[in-house]
Chain A
Amino acid sequence: MVRINLTVDGARVADDVEPRMLLVHYLREKLGKTGTVVGCDTSNCGACTVHLDGTSVKSCNVLAVQADGGEVTTIEGLAQDGQLHPVQEAFRECHGLQCGYCTPGMIMQSVDLLKDNPNPSEEEIRLGLEGNLCRCTGYHNIVRAVQHAAGAGGTQAAGQTEAVQA
């Protein structure tokens, strides 16, 4: 067992973990943060995306011991004082989900994308989310949600998206 100290969603935690434990399993099974889901287990789908030291990572592809000394933010740490994060709000507003399984990862990656690029084009959004798969194929509304969150304007963005579809 290896001792790790880290901050998760603003709270300091310390634990003894097996070196082989994946960060996603640590978050879910040790800390009970089941908002971060395991999708594919092969680092393809991005459903398990969290932020580690300020950038997005696939938490099934990071060992818990590698997060020692680091700061992790999960989907459960986005809302502040009962207020949804603007990207969460936008996903709700634009119905950026169907079954919802990919949503935690989509939102975490969208937050990361908007941090680096506050006004992304549709292509930049699709490229920025290329590591996140939606098996319902609900990508159009996900892109609209990111545009909405970026302040690109809900109805205008929706019109553009429909024009692309047509």
Chain B
Amino acid sequence: MSKATRQAFGEALAKLGETHPEIVVLDADLAKSTKSELFMKKFPERFFEMGIQEANMIGVAAGLAFTGKLPFLCSFGAFLTGRFDTIRLSVAYSNANVRLIGTHAGVGIGDDGHSQMALEDIALMRTLPGMGVFQPMDARDTEQLMDYLVNTWKGPAYLRLTRQNLPDLTPSEHVFNPLKLTPIRKTTGTSKPVVLIGTGGTLGEAVQASEKLNAAGVASEVWNATSLKPFDHETTSKLASSARLMVTVEDHSVIGGLGDCVAEVLATLSQHAPLVKLGIQDQFGESGEGPELYEKFGISASKIVESIQRKLG
């Protein structure tokens, strides 16, 4: 079964609303797209339609948080980061207990084109002190992450969600810990593996790429990063010490995203495997079918394999 993480988010939010009266939800005329409408229909008195005013919505959410509410504010990630100054001052600098929900991550949204694609959001949000930055890998991960964001996380957090459906990838025996990298596919060989790390929409591509590599005799394994901040330095360091090659795959700019999360760890190690950062290479997105765009921007399974084989020579 596959599901968009925005859908899993909307369902989880509506469910959490039953047991958490402090949750309030704000949307800026995109409730149908962000799936916050599932909460709206169930709890209209705790849902605020803020109109096409993202900056005001962000400030209002901060004010609501200061009176003890737990606001979830929802829009496309691209439109939230467009109001970065308000997030920076009214939310982050005030340590407002706000959940910023940015849907429509990356080129994976397809047809609508660059203006609607969140491609810099991880990079921007990571720079804000105290801001958690999370991107779940599938529906089950989203559900568990939502529980964590309501019951455990304190202070501001950004949640990055996909428009497109994602395959179920959470391992069945997985013990949820969003702050640790999750092993998705372990290598079977004894040689040093290529280590692929994916996040959100690209994880399924990384898994397929790994299968192709293994079939071609290249040992590889796949890990998932749900938390981009805090980032799991410990596991990343271990992987980088034993890997043949590190490869990050993300539907986001390679500047400041998952690739740089890993690069920042590698830079502290005296010895580590080289790193290939796959993602949007300092380019704008464009219209097209999501899978075609994954191909064009080099983050489809086959393109991942090509990049790795080219690097391995």
Do A and B bind? no
Q: Which residue numbers of B lie inside 8 Å of A, CB to CB?
A: none
